[in-house]
Amino acid sequence: MVSAKPRDSSEIFFSPFSDGIVSEVLRVFLVKYGKQWDGRGAHRIVGKTPLEAAAAIVEDYGLPCTTNEFISEVTPLFTDQWSNIKALPGATRLIKHLNCHGVPMALASNSPRANIESKIACHQGWKESFSFIIGGDEVRMGKPSPEIFLEAAKRLNMEPSSCLVIEDSLKCVLEADALQTLKVTGYAYCNGITRPGVMAGKAAGMEVVAVPSLPKQAHIYTSADEVINSLLDLRPEKWGLPPFHDWIESTLPIEPWYIGGPVIKGFGRGSKVLGIPTANISTEGYSTILSEHPSGVYFGWAGLSMRGVYKMVMSIGWNPFFNNTEKTIEPWLLHDFDEDFYGEQLCLAIVGYIRPEANFASLESLVAKIHEDKKIAENALDLPLFAGYKDDLYLRSSLHKN
């Protein structure tokens, strides 16, 4: 990682939308052809041009249409979805924070400017927070050309070297506005190794933090100064920007979210290999809610229908140490049980975030880190801010009444 230069004022450029919309559009679209979007297709289309991505879907799903027909059919579906586009987790928090500290920000995207404006219209406070919005139709060449970022720096009257670019994957390349950008700006896709936004930022002489919006994609952002799993992991002070002050005792309070289901069999290694049992629940039915929350280590309260409510620390994701291909939900209930409870209904109120999932040099260091997470969660859940959720109706109503 390149170390950050301290700066008096910095500029931030980023495109803070999540990719959930792509899955949603393709899910609805494929049903029309009697097919089921399995979500995993997202990996097959990432890093491709819009045309290549469309061709891959037509081929993979054996659709009875040409690539161009597919494109003209999905484009209006994407447009309809713009008002439903969810912000990337942590985007509103970050925009508010930087705005409150008077950090000038610009929003620079390859999408035509009018599309960007429609997309952010439903996010309160966003438009006013950016000094400028620059669309792909306002420059000769879109990303990966540095032009859009250089233009943003010029308009902000700042040196490119004192600007920070925060770049997500710029969404799945299939998204409708990317298709339009292709026509409008003659956007040239360079290669599948580095994402266009990262290339553009580096070519503009700026520091770049990349936030891959699909899992296991960090390797295609290698030229970024830092790759973070989600905006929750951004430490502004690393880049000479004012730090967040909402972390409390190593935890980040979040808007609580809720998932539940019967306890299922996992990989059979939690207790055996790590000495840490995790009462897995199925991810089925939670694809939307899970796509709205970054993978990582969280904590909260767990209601076990036949037993009660317990403190809980969990990981959600691909367990990088084991390089799983399936995303799993792995809650460790912080209580000693004298028997297994497979099949029992488990409800989770997730109230705070601790850290991204990580890889470790050894099993011992993974286990040590999980025990550290446990301590953090145990202490945090005693704070009034988190303790109250123990009585959350969602958990209480799931308990078996005798």
Burial class from Cβ neighbours inside 10 Å (0-12, 13-18, 19+) for residue 93 reads middle
What is the footprint of ligand RBF within residues 343-382 (CB under 6 A)? 357-358, 366, 370, 373
Q: Is 108 or 329 the residue whose CB approaches ligand RBF more closely?
A: 329
Q: Running DSSP on this structure, what letter comes out for residue 164?
A: E
Catalytic residue among 237, 330, 339, 364: 330
Among 20, 41, 266, 300, binds ligand RBF (CB under 6 A): 266
Map tokens 């209930």 to a residue: 333
Burial class from Cβ neighbours inside 10 Å (0-12, 13-18, 19+) for residue 83 reads exposed
What is the footprint of Mg ion within residues 247-266 (CB under 5 A)? 266
Give the separation between CA 176 and CA 115, rounded to whole angstroms.
Answer: 10
Of 39, 70, 41, 42, the C-alpha closest to 54 is: 70
Give the separation between CA 213 and CA 219, rounded to whole angstroms.
Answer: 13
Which one of 63-71, 164-172, 284-292, 328-336 is the stretch in contact with ligand ADP (CB under 6 A)? Answer: 328-336
With beta carbons less than 8 A apart as the criterion, state whether 348 and 300 touch.
yes
Of 365, 385, 143, the C-alpha closest to 254 is: 385
Q: Does 82 bind ligand ADP (CB under 6 A)?
A: no
Q: Running DSSP on this structure, what letter comes out for residue 160?
A: G
- Please calculate the CA angle 329-87-14 and round it to the nearest 5 degrees: 115
Which one of 108-116, 179-187, 233-241, 271-279 is the stretch in contact with Mg ion (CB under 5 A)? Answer: 271-279
Active site residue 339: no
Name the binder of 357 from ligand RBF, Mg ion, ligand ADP, none, CB < 5-8 A by kind: ligand RBF
Largest Cα span, the chain:
70
Name the binder of 244 from Mg ion, ligand ADP, ligand RBF, none, CB < 5-8 A by kind: none
Q: Is 128 or 338 the residue whose CB approaches ligand ADP more closely?
A: 338
Name the binder of 241 from ligand RBF, Mg ion, ligand ADP, none, CB < 5-8 A by kind: none
List contacts with ligand RBF (CB under 6 A): 266-267, 269-270, 274, 276, 278, 297, 313-315, 319-322, 330, 332, 357-358, 366, 370, 373
Q: Which residues are catalytic?
A: 330
List contacts with ligand ADP (CB under 6 A): 263, 265-268, 270-272, 277-280, 332-333, 335, 337, 340-342
